[in-house]
């Protein structure tokens, strides 16, 4: 494998100008706290899925400026020479907390927090956001599609429509975390272990003198994984009949009964019903019917509502680009600084748009689980020094009627943000892809079905502790 590109310079230019300004103003060592959070769930869903932390970790560990970077910055003519010299030995020395990949996440709660000297905290903003925004977006979309498939396998087919190589590879990674069975992208398998698979294109069939010869040849070469694309010419008049004949002539003498056909165009409900009947009547009851062609969660759900006889799906552009809502919208905001004595001083950003008013302070996020059914019912954001007492009743605002409080008892509280870096050192034991994938499925299973609805999902509780609420109101009053 080639040495990966050093991404240190992948940041917004203003992060450099601010860094230079902090350096010259004597603020380089000022400890700051920044939160990453998002404001709305894509597609109006009930929750999103966190992904991309592994790439954040790799970036932080390799954060450094090469001499060619220094020379480039010098050529801009706006940076102090002492600042450029400081960059030669630059490394990340701060702390990072984050929710594990695969965690269901909700608007306005921190999913990653950085505590670091001002220059360091500012430099990492862009890359952290692009990692978390992209993969969380694709994981969220992929999981919606997987849930619509209702237990039938979904393979990610979108590489050729992705916005570049990284989007193809990391999108396939995020899709696998979120429940896709695999990918058509061989490099994603090589890099991340997302199982790659594939069969044939229409060009394979067109290369042969006739469809039957193409099918026979493929079955001879791949007898144990024969999936035949049956819509190159005519699905019902040639595609399925020729597939049955190839199965009969090549697979049946070998005692092989497992095979598949794929539909890539036309009325998938109608064609799958007809194809299923033809296959069953020919004795190929174990033959699976796969479908592709511009699918998403809504189309897959409708196919099943119409009685489609389908066993699995390949989903491409609408997954890998999250075509219905292609921006996740995560942001990176200053929430606190430390004074010379180490006291945490909360900071707030105010806006004419209430949704853009930030929640100040260094914080924790607790997920609350009912001891009755084990389901998650709320997230509580607290000041960093607060501990949720599971033995006391807890009052939370109703998200659908903020004037009303609901009281909860008999619950278990779990902190979501876990230490990733401490003093610039990685302290997080990184899970394998299979572990992340299993964790994601487990955590989604802990969400209420009402939260999983595609339309008008239940509004999940995300509330502030009384201490944090009061502090926020106090800072708002000071700014009036």
Spatial distance between the Cα atoms of 55 and 63, rounded to a whole number of angstroms:
12
Spatial distance between the Cα atoms of 236 and 212, rounded to a whole number of angstroms:
14
Structural domain ending residue among the three candidates 267, 295, 320: 320
Q: Which residues form the domain of 251?
A: 147-320
Same domain? For 254 and 178 the reply is yes
Pairing of strands 394-398, 376-383: unpaired
| Residue 55 resides in a domain | yes
Structural domain ending residue among the three candidates 292, 320, 348: 320
Lowest mean pLDDT among 111-125, 207-221, 233-247, 399-413: 399-413
In whole angstroms, how far apart are CA 400 and each of 108, 409, 458, 460?
16, 20, 9, 9
Same domain? For 69 and 171 the reply is no
pLDDT band at 405 (very low <50, low <70, confident <90, very high): confident
Element (H, E) at 357: none
Among 337, 372, 358, 300, smallest CA distance to 475 is for: 358
Q: What is the pLDDT of residues 426-469, one digit of tens each?
A: 999 999 999 999 999 999 999 999 999 999 999 999 999 999 99
Using the Cα atoms of residue 356, residue 358, residue 364 and residue 369 in order, give the sign of their dihedral.
negative
pLDDT (0 to 100) of residue 9: 94
Same domain? For 267 and 247 the reply is yes
Q: Which residues lie below 8 Å from residue 237, measured CB to CB, with a gap of 6+?
A: none
Average pLDDT, the chain: 95
Q: What is the pLDDT of residues 185-235, one digit of tens each?
A: 999 999 999 999 988 999 999 999 999 999 999 999 999 999 999 999 999
Please give the structure tokens belonging to residue 55: 């790439």
pLDDT band at 3 (very low <50, low <70, confident <90, very high): very low
* More confidently predicted of 398 and 255: 255
pLDDT (0 to 100) of residue 404: 64
Structural domain ending residue among the three candidates 295, 320, 345: 320
In whole angstroms, how far apart are CA 386 and each of 18, 127, 389, 465, 466?
33, 30, 9, 9, 11
In whole angstroms, how far apart are CA 90 and each of 76, 83, 232, 302, 394?
19, 10, 58, 54, 45
pLDDT (0 to 100) of residue 470: 93
As a whole number, mean pLDDT of residues 287-316 equals 97
Same domain? For 343 and 474 the reply is yes
Same domain? For 290 and 353 the reply is no
| Residue 3 resides in a domain | no
| Residue 393 resides in a domain | no
Looking up tokens 């919208």, which residue turns up?
329
pLDDT (0 to 100) of residue 117: 98
Spatial distance between the Cα atoms of 335 and 358, rounded to a whole number of angstroms:
8
Lowest mean pLDDT among 75-89, 260-274, 347-361: 347-361
Same domain? For 285 and 333 the reply is no
| Residue 310 resides in a domain | yes
Encode 445-459: b = buried (16+ Cβ within 10 Å), e = exposed: eebbeebbeeeebee
pLDDT (0 to 100) of residue 406: 83
pLDDT (0 to 100) of residue 478: 86
Could you give the 3-state DSSP secondary structure of residue 74? helix
| % of the chain with per-residue pLDDT over 70 | 97
pLDDT (0 to 100) of residue 2: 41
In whole angstroms, how far apart are CA 201 and each of 227, 336, 338?
11, 55, 60
Same domain? For 331 and 313 the reply is no
| Residue 242 resides in a domain | yes
Looking up tokens 């087919």, which residue turns up?
157
| Residue 119 resides in a domain | yes
pLDDT at 261 over 90: yes
- Is residue 68 classed exposed, middle or buried when 0-12, 13-18 and 19+ CB atoms within 10 A define those classes? exposed
| Residue 311 resides in a domain | yes
| % of the chain with per-residue pLDDT over 90 | 93
Could you write out the DSSP letters of every residue in 323-350? Answer: TTS-----EEEEEEEE-TT--EEE----
| Residue 347 resides in a domain | yes
Q: What is the pLDDT of residues 319-339, one digit of tens each?
A: 999 999 999 999 999 999 999
pLDDT (0 to 100) of residue 1: 37
How many structural domains comprise the chain? 2
Same domain? For 261 and 277 the reply is yes
Same domain? For 307 and 453 the reply is no
Same domain? For 347 and 450 the reply is yes
Helix 268-281, helix 297-305: angle, nearest 10: 50
> What CATH number does residue 262 fall under?
3.20.20.70
> What CATH number does residue 435 fall under?
3.20.140.10
pLDDT band at 399 (very low <50, low <70, confident <90, very high): low
pLDDT at 354 over 90: no
pLDDT (0 to 100) of residue 400: 55
Helix 13-24, helix 81-88: angle, nearest 10: 110
Same domain? For 193 and 119 the reply is no
Spatial distance between the Cα atoms of 17 and 78, rounded to a whole number of angstroms:
8
pLDDT at 402 over 80: no
| The model's pTM | 0.96
Q: What is the pLDDT of residues 145-169, one digit of tens each?
A: 999 999 999 999 999 999 999 999 9
Same domain? For 306 and 348 the reply is no
């Amino acid at each position: 494998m080639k040495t990966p590109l050093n991404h240190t310079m992948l940041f917004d230019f203003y992060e450099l100008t601010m860094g230079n300004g902090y350096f010259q103003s004597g603020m380089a060592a000022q400890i700051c706290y920044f939160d990453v959070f998002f404001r709305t769930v894509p597609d109006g869903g009930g929750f999103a899925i966190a992904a991309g932390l592994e790439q954040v970790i790799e970036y932080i560990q390799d954060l450094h400026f090469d001499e060619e970077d220094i020379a480039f910055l010098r050529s801009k003519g706006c940076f102090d020479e002492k600042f450029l010299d400081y960059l030669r030995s630059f490394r990340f020395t701060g702390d990072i907390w984050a929710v594990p990949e695969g965690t269901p996440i909700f608007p306005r709660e921190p999913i990653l927090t950085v505590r670091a000297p001002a220059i360091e905290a500012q430099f990492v903003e862009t890359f952290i956001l692009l990692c978390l925004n992209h993969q969380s977006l694709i994981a969220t979309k992929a999981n919606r599609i997987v849930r619509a498939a209702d237990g039938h396998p979904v393979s990610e087919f979108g590489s050729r429509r992705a916005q570049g190589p990284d989007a193809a590879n990391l999108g396939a990674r995020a899709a696998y975390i979120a429940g896709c069975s695999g990918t058509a992208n061989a490099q994603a398998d090589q890099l991340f272990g997302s199982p790659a698979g594939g069969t044939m294109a229409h060009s394979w069939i067109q290369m042969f003198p006739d469809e039957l010869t193409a099918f026979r040849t493929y079955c001879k070469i791949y007898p144990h994984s024969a999936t035949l694309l049956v819509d190159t010419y005519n699905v019902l008049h040639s595609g399925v009949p020729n597939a049955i004949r190839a199965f009969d002539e090549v697979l049946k003498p070998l005692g092989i009964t497992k095979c598949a056909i794929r539909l890539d165009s036309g009325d998938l409900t109608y064609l799958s019903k007809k194809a299923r009947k033809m296959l069953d009547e020919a004795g190929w009851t174990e033959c699976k019917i796969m479908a592709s062609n511009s699918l998403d969660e809504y189309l897959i759900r409708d196919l099943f509502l119409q009685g489609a006889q389908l066993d699995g799906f390949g989903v491409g552009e609408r997954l890998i680009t999250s075509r219905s809502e292609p921006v996740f919208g995560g942001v990176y905001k200053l929430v606190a600084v430390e004074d010379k004595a180490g006291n945490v001083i909360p900071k707030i950003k105010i806006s004419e748009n209430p949704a853009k008013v930030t929640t100040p302070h260094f914080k924790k996020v607790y997920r609350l689980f009912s001891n009755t059914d084990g389901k998650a019912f709320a997230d509580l954001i607290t000041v960093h020094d607060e501990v949720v007492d599971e033995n006391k009743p807890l009052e939370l605002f109703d998200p659908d009627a903020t004037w009303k409080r609901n009281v909860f008892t008999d619950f278990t509280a779990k902190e979501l943000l876990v230490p990733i870096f401490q003093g610039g050192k990685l302290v997080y034991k990184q899970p394998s892809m299979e572990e992340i994938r299993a964790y994601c499925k487990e955590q989604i299973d802990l969400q209420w079905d009402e939260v999983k609805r595609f339309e008008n999902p239940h509004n999940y509780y995300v509330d502030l502790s009384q201490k944090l609420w009061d502090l926020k109101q106090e800072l708002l009053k000071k700014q009036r």
